Chains A and B, each alone.
Chain A
Amino acid sequence: MTHFPLLTERQQATLRAAVDRVIPPDDGQPGGVAAGAYDYILGQLGRDLAGSAAGYRLFLDALDAAAAATGKDAGSASQVHFSTLPPAAQDALLARFEKAADWRVFFRQFVEHAQEGFYTSPAGFELIGWKVRG
């Protein structure tokens, strides 16, 4: 049986990198991916967010295309991907998408999905100091 993955490998890499900018790893504390927020979104795309899968693919491709354009502007010879940009450059691209008329609604949903994955994870609980009892 042929399986059609929800996201291509390139799109997965872009999503992983983007989730780690929504909740960045720092000071030894886990970021979104280590906390499970990337796996959360991937899982949801197969379930409750199945209707958003096409939107995610477009969004991730657009992020990657924007990254490639910055590489061209910088005169880079090799292909630049979102996932290989330094974090500051990734943040700058995400900030552009946050304000872009075509993307700001989807962007807001994406960061909210990532935060859902994070603040329902043990790493999220530990970050803010919330402990489960009973």
Chain B
Amino acid sequence: MSQSKYDVVVVGAGAGGGVIAGVLAEAGKRVLLLERGASKTFEQIGRDHLRNQRISQYGNNAGPDGPENPRVVVDWKTGNALTVLPHEGGYNNNAAIVGGGTRVYGGQAWRFHPLDFRMASTYGVPEGSSLTDWPISYEDLEPFYEQAEHELGVAGRRAEMTHLPAYKKDYPMPPLPVNAQGTVLRKGLSALGWQTLSVPLAVNSEPRDGRPACIRCQHCVGFACPVDAKNGTQNTLLPRAIASGNCELVTGVLAERVETRGGRATGVTYVDAATGERITVEAEVVVVAGGAVETARLLLNSGLGNDHVGRHLQGHYYPGAAGLFPEVVWDGLGPGVTTATCQFIHGNDGIVGGGMLADEFVTLPITFWKRHTPPDLPRWGRAAKEWMRDNFRYVSDVKGPVQEIPSPEARVTVDPQVRDAWGLPVVRLSGATHPETVRTATFMHERAKEWLRAAGATEIWGGPPTLGLSGGQHQAGTVRMGDDPATSAADRHCRLHGHDNLYLGDGSVHVTNGPFNPFLTIMALAYRTADHIARSW
């Protein structure tokens, strides 16, 4: 780290932070980009089927790992608090690595729908929920969705996105080919007359940007790509930022506090994780993009923001079902997710919102064993072995995100006692989503079963969802945007209310989280925010 004063300091080199750092560095601003994780190669991230974003049984391949930064999780039913490690249930981890979640995600690149931005006006406000409208619309974000799709590299077909207003430009690459499971499932959608589309993926379906096309290796979701065909900020925006000569990336550091004076951010104090050294840098503009959970923590530990900071935590309930088919549905061709329907994202009688359903990324054997076997299957012995031998290649599942109805009690606070290895109060997670979310998720669980039946599944299993706290890899909502500080924490330009040079660059600003994977919306907002920062310089 070569200076003490920068134009912009960005905390977090993930989906949003990577975009903002890249855009502003190319616009000539001197950017310091702070990242708690490391820059890891494919080999370093590895291919351990028990240590990845899907099954983090013994560790997180994309960080964080180890005991330095635990979280406290409060059981909403009993009130009991448990301290958990990053790979353990309840921690609600995403990733801590250069590229953030985009380093290892499956890359489903969805735009939110126009109605997702006005859920309260459309459906009313369920009692006890904090459902409200965004201060901006799909139309405000549309040019930035297009920019993200083209600068990141998304494979899809605009003609199929019939649930959205017409795109101005088609995707830069066509969809990846449909595999065996997709073919079988499409027959079901056709029989039902449900809208059918290819899942837009941030994966090269043809060589692009100096990197090859996907080699169909089946290790998409949860791992790094062996040939760098999967597109994240670490292989697009971040190299551009570095190449501009205006961006310094510092890894292995944790932001401790956003420094302010008289309502203006003046810089950031951060800790070198290896040495414990504290460093304070000054900046004209500060952007916090550590993910909804850690961003809320940083603001709370800095004493910044109003009572909405940390509240309305959302992720995605993922109802679905698995089905046994009379024909082989596994053909060894990844990524696996080819086919989706937006038939039920809105306009469902008596249901607030809805969800998207899609087929699944190719499931690794141990993931299949742990998550996709029938509930009454013996867990050991000859019967278990024979079932796996006879049925693995004949089972597919469909699932998808539900638009959650936020609760103000689902929240991030900081623990009064527990500290991380550097003395900072850790995240405390408490509450649960609003029960209306579970109603919608139960409705979508039934649609998943209907789809599998129509596609020819002879046996279907998988239970309905239950109430709990949601966050995890799709975490959002904790510094939500709005025009009125009485009901929001940040303004329509993603600035923390009351601080005209302190911006948020991750999913914390989402008012609602759509029935879609959120990263493309995070990136579109980040492009819009970077544009605003550059224009108002």
Within 8 A of A (CB), among B417-460: none
A22 with B380: CB separation less than 8 A = yes
Residues of A within 8 A of B217 (CB): 132-134
Alpha-carbon distance between A16 and B216 when the two chains are bound, in angstroms: 37
A11 within 8 A of B: no
Select the stretch in B115-123, B382-390, B488-496 that faces chain A. Answer: B382-390
Q: Which of A115, A128, A132 is most buried by chain B, counting CB atoms within 10 A of its CB?
A: A128
A127 within 8 A of B: yes
Residues of B within 8 A of A112 (CB): 370, 379
B226 with A134: CB separation less than 8 A = yes
Q: Which partner residue on chain A sits nearest B217 by CB separation?
A: A134
How many A-B residue pairs have C-beta atoms within 8 angstroms? Tell me.
80
A128 with B379: CB separation less than 8 A = no
A73 within 8 A of B: no
**Residue from the list B365, B382, B385 in contact with A125, Cβ < 8 A:** B365
**Residue from the list A24, A26, A114, A128 in contact with B388, Cβ < 8 A:** A128
B90 within 8 A of A: no
Alpha-carbon distance between A12 and B217 when the two chains are bound, in angstroms: 37
Interface flags, B318-350, vs A, CB<8A=1, else 0: 000000000000101110000000000000000
Residues of B within 8 A of A116 (CB): 50, 57, 366
A130 with B381: CB separation less than 8 A = no
Residues of A within 8 A of B388 (CB): 119, 127-128
A34 within 8 A of B: no
Alpha-carbon distance between A23 and B227 when the two chains are bound, in angstroms: 35
Within 8 A of B (CB), among A93-121: 94, 98, 108, 111-112, 114-116, 119-120
Residues of A within 8 A of B499 (CB): none
Given A116-B50, A120-B49: A130 and B365 within 8 A (CB)? yes
Alpha-carbon distance between A114 and B381 when the two chains are bound, in angstroms: 11
Q: Which of B219, B365, B370, B382 is most buried by chain A, counting CB atoms within 10 A of its CB?
A: B365
B218 within 8 A of A: yes
A21 with B380: CB separation less than 8 A = yes
B171 within 8 A of A: no
A114 with B380: CB separation less than 8 A = yes
B389 with A127: CB separation less than 8 A = yes
Q: Which partner residue on chain B sits nearest A87 by CB separation?
A: B382
Count of B residues near A, CB < 8 Å?
A: 32
B332 with A124: CB separation less than 8 A = no
Given A128-B393, A130-B392: A22 and B369 within 8 A (CB)? no
B467 within 8 A of A: no
Residues of A within 8 A of B227 (CB): 134
B215 with A128: CB separation less than 8 A = no
How far is the CB of A88 from the nearest CB of chain B, in Å?
A: 11
A24 with B381: CB separation less than 8 A = yes
Alpha-carbon distance between A115 and B49 when the two chains are bound, in angstroms: 12
**Residue from the list B215, B379, B385 in contact with A134, Cβ < 8 A:** B215
Q: Which partner residue on chain A sits nearest B382 by CB separation?
A: A24
Residues of B within 8 A of A127 (CB): 385, 388-389
Residues of A within 8 A of B58 (CB): 48
A3 within 8 A of B: no
How far is the CB of B456 from the nearest CB of chain A, in Å?
A: 20
Residues of B within 8 A of A26 (CB): 382, 385
Chain B: residues with CB nearer than 8 A to chain A? 49-50, 57-59, 215-219, 226-227, 330, 332-334, 364-366, 368-370, 379-382, 384-385, 388-389, 392-393
Q: A115-B369, A134-B216 are in contact. List 5 more A-B contacts (CB 8 A).
A: A91-B381, A116-B366, A119-B388, A120-B365, A129-B393
Can you report 22 A-B residue pairs in the complex whose CB atoms are below 8 A from each other?
A: A22-B381, A23-B380, A24-B381, A48-B58, A94-B380, A115-B379, A115-B384, A119-B368, A120-B366, A124-B365, A127-B385, A128-B388, A128-B393, A129-B330, A130-B330, A130-B364, A130-B365, A130-B392, A131-B332, A133-B218, A133-B334, A134-B219
Name the 8 nearest CB pairs between A and B, nearest first: A134-B217, A128-B392, A134-B215, A111-B380, A119-B366, A48-B58, A119-B365, A22-B380
